[in-house]
Amino acid sequence: MADADAPEASRPPIQAVMSPLTPFQQDCSLLCCTEAMRGTVTDSGGDPELIESAIAERAVTVEKVLITHGHLDHAGSTKDLARRLAVSVEGPHEADMFWIGRMEERSRMFGFAGAMEFEPNHWLKDGDTVNSGNVTMDVIHCPGHTPGHVVFVHRGAGFPWSGTCCSRARSADPIS
Ligand SMILES: [Zn+2]
């Protein structure tokens, strides 16, 4: 490898920026390929305008929305955000249709304004991969938190992204 490549090789291939955006302090994440500065919004709960501001601030081109699971604070603004950004939605596993299909009902129940049902462009399953920029992550179906919960793993960087549980300790919170 040429010396000129050394700084590039030391740069992490993927970067995560987290923004607590909802009353449940759920972390909507911007996962970014540092080489191409292209990325994904992962778990689009919260205010779409705040998410768009975070995207603009970091000069990242968002290529898609990834959803780890169908709880409203992780996926409530998916329909609105995907439409604003004109991007597709991937995930979660189809077993979370139960949650996604009741988004508006749950939204009213928890006083969580604006959540909408949506249909992902691609449901994900164990063994799938998702791509953004020059980064590929493996999809692991990890039922438990919800039946359709998926985790994204960048194996080269040792980077797992669960959307919940791994990013913050949680105990009795039934919906995050
Ligand atoms: Zn959850």
Can you list the domains of the chain with their CATH numbers? 11-161 (3.60.15.10)
* Confidence (pLDDT) at 126: 98
Is the distance from CB of 91 to CB of 123 less than 8 angstroms? yes
Q: How far is the CA of 75 from the centre of ligand 1 (A)?
A: 9
Q: What residues flank ion ligand 1 with Cβ within 5 A?
A: 71, 164, 176
Q: How far is the CA of 8 from the centre of ligand 1 (A)?
A: 36
**Cα–Cα separations (whole angstroms), residue 88 to 29, 118, 123, 160:** 16, 11, 11, 22
Q: How far apart are the first and last CA of the chain?
A: 45
* Continuous segment of H or E residues that includes residue 93: none
Measured in Å, residue 22 CA sits from the centre of ligand 1 at 12
Contacts 24+ apart (CB under 8 A), 54-57: 54/17, 54/19, 54/30, 55/30, 55/85
pLDDT (tens place) for every residue of the chain, 176 residues total: 444 444 555 678 888 876 655 444 456 888 989 999 999 999 988 788 888 888 888 889 999 999 999 998 889 999 999 999 999 999 999 999 999 999 888 888 887 777 899 999 999 999 999 999 999 999 999 999 999 999 999 988 877 888 765 444 333 333 44
